[in-house]
């Protein structure tokens, strides 16, 4: 028992995900200053932004199986070393091409550390893993929410944008030291109850693919909405509160994910309810011209959206067997694919039929998500009964 009192592996893993969310949000908030420093055009700034997203999407495709084979504790340490090197190199780099290379490695390590840390939590805590998996997803959202505020603060006080990467490197050093000291031993012993021994089953590809479909469509909607909600307010509603609506949408995701962790036994019902709520809210939201009502609807919309990711990860655990990093990597890859395709689709449709119609078309894909969710729940129930 004394060992369990000294256990802090979950704290380190939570911090890793928080720091990577912080880097992602901070990089977005720093992009204008970076572009000014390197004398970039808008097209070049778009390239700088997309390089990190591309690398983050590539990470789970390339590294998911590797993380399962070499052991997650070791793979996290390797990724942290790469991240430390790239982050501290950015502090001194003057060439825009070398900076872009560093951003690629930061995106790669950010994407890898997120899904491997989630898988490591599930493996190390087979009893409380369901709750911890839901809670760890809040850390990325919290980091992405807080970092633009800090970046805005120090930029307004005359400090350089490179401070973000110095902070990232220093925190990664702290996390690496914590990983080395904590060790890789399993922290809990499965007690034989339902959900306690997730890693003992077989890898069920069909179930993981169904969950990938859900996440591809959900993240596609999320990106389409968040990238264009400010445009919706500015061009359609003629209001200046679009950025506040965006912040509100992200902020309510945090309590939503804590809610999923607290009610982890009911994740199937929560997932179905969320998939149904999002199109219903969007049907109402896109028909309104009152900016206050649209702003208020961003609260339930963000809450329903925030509940999907931890619900999918929790449902995934019994189907992943011992290949939790592979399964989490597949799901993370699906989110990247959805983000790229649906975000581009939103802009394309908005040019032709208007922003409100584009968002309605976007949420129509949730019918496919509903079918996938019902199918994976049927598979889960069949495994329990037979």
Q: Specify the higher pLDDT residue, 296 or 151.
A: 296
Q: What percent of the chain has pLDDT over 70?
A: 94
**Which 8-state DSSP code applies to residue 64?**
H
**How sure is the predictor about 256, in pLDDT bands with cuts at 50, 70 and 90?**
very high
Q: What are the boundaries of each domain within the chain?
A: 2-182, 201-385
Q: What percent of the chain has pLDDT over 90?
A: 35
pLDDT value of position 80: 96
In Å, the largest CA–CA distance within the chain is 64
Pair 84, 172: CB distance under 8 Å: yes
Is the confidence at residue 28, as pLDDT, over 80?
no
CA atoms of 365 and 229, how far apart (whole Å): 19
CA atoms of 145 and 151, how far apart (whole Å): 11
Section 275-297 average pLDDT: 92
Pair 137, 309: CB distance under 8 Å: yes
CA atoms of 13 and 178, how far apart (whole Å): 9
**Which numeric CATH code is attached to 201-385?**
1.20.1250.20
**Which 8-state DSSP code applies to residue 91?**
T
Is the confidence at residue 95, as pLDDT, over 80?
yes
CA atoms of 181 and 126, how far apart (whole Å): 21
Section 326-350 average pLDDT: 82
Q: What share of the chain is helix, strand, coil (3-state, %, to 5)?
A: 85, 0, 15
pLDDT value of position 351: 83
Which phi and psi angles does 187 have, rounded to 5°? -85, -20
**Which 8-state DSSP code applies to residue 234?**
I
- Any idea how long the chain is? 386
CATH class of 2-182: mainly alpha
What tokens does 200 get?
Answer: 């003992």
Is the confidence at residue 200, as pLDDT, over 70?
no
Is the confidence at residue 4, as pLDDT, over 80?
no
Residue with tokens 């790239």: 86
Reduce the DSSP state of residue 384 to 3 states and report it: helix
The kind and range of the H/E element at 28 are: helix 9-37
pLDDT value of position 53: 73
DSSP-assigned letters across all residues of 194-222: TTT-GGGS---HHHHHHHHHHHHHHHHHH
**How sure is the predictor about 153, in pLDDT bands with cuts at 50, 70 and 90?**
confident
> How much is the mean pLDDT over the chain?
85
What does each C-alpha distance from 78 to 28, 66, 171 come to in angstroms?
25, 12, 15
What tokens does 241 get?
Answer: 């509160």
CA atoms of 115 and 137, how far apart (whole Å): 10
Measured from the Cβ of residue 66, the count of other Cβ atoms closer than 10 Å reads 15
CA atoms of 233 and 243, how far apart (whole Å): 9
pLDDT value of position 87: 94
Dihedral of the alpha carbons of 8, 13, 15, 20, in degrees to the nearest 10:
170
CA atoms of 16 and 110, how far apart (whole Å): 9
Is the confidence at residue 196, as pLDDT, over 50?
no
CA atoms of 290 and 176, how far apart (whole Å): 50
State the alpha helices, DSSP H only, in the chain. 2-5, 9-37, 42-70, 72-90, 96-124, 129-156, 163-182, 205-231, 242-251, 253-262, 267-285, 291-320, 324-353, 355-363, 366-385
Residue with tokens 């060790």: 183
């Amino acid at each position: 028992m004394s060992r369990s009192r000294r256990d802090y592996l979950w704290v380190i893993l939570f911090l890793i995900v928080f720091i990577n969310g912080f880097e992602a949000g901070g990089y977005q908030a720093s992009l204008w200053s970076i572009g000014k420093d390197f004398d970039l055009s808008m097209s070049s700034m778009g390239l700088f932004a997309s390089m990190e997203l591309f690398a983050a999407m590539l990470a789970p495709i390339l590294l998911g199986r590797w993380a399962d084979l070499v052991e997650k504790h070791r793979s996290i340490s390797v990724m942290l070393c790469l991240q430390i090197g790239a982050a501290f190199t950015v502090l001194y780099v003057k060439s825009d091409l070398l900076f872009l290379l560093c951003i690629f490695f930061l995106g790669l390590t950010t994407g890898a550390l997120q899904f491997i840390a989630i898988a490591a939590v599930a493996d190390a805590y087979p009893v409380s893993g369901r709750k911890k998996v839901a809670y760890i997803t809040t850390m990325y959202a919290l980091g992405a929410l807080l970092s633009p505020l800090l970046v805005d603060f120090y930029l307004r006080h005359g400090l350089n944008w490179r401070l973000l990467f110095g902070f990232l490197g220093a925190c990664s050093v702290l996390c690496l030291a914590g990983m080395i000291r904590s060790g890789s031993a399993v922290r809990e012993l499965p007690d034989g109850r339902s959900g306690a021994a997730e890693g003992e089953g077989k890898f069920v590809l069909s179930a993981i693919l169904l969950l990938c479909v859900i996440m591809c469509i959900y993240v596609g909607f999320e990106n389409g909405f968040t990238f264009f909600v400010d445009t919706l307010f500015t061009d359609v509603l003629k209001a200046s509160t679009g950025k506040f609506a965006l912040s509100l949408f992200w902020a309510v995701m945090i309590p939503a994910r804590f809610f999923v962790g607290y009610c982890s036994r009911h994740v199937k019902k929560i997932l179905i309810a969320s998939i149904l709520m999002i199109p219903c809210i969007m049907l109402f939201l896109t028909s309104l011209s009152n900016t206050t009502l649209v702003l208020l609807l961003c609260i339930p919309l963000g809450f329903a959206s925030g509940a999907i990711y931890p619900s999918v990860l929790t449902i995934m655990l019994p189907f992943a067997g011992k290949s939790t990093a592979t399964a989490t990597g597949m799901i993370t890859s699906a989110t990247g694919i959805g983000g790229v395709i649906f975000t581009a689709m939103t802009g394309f449709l908005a040019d032709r039929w208007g922003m409100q119609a584009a968002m309605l078309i976007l949420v129509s894909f949730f019918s496919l998500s509903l079918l996938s969710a019902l199918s994976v729940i049927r598979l889960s129930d069949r495994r329990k009964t037979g």
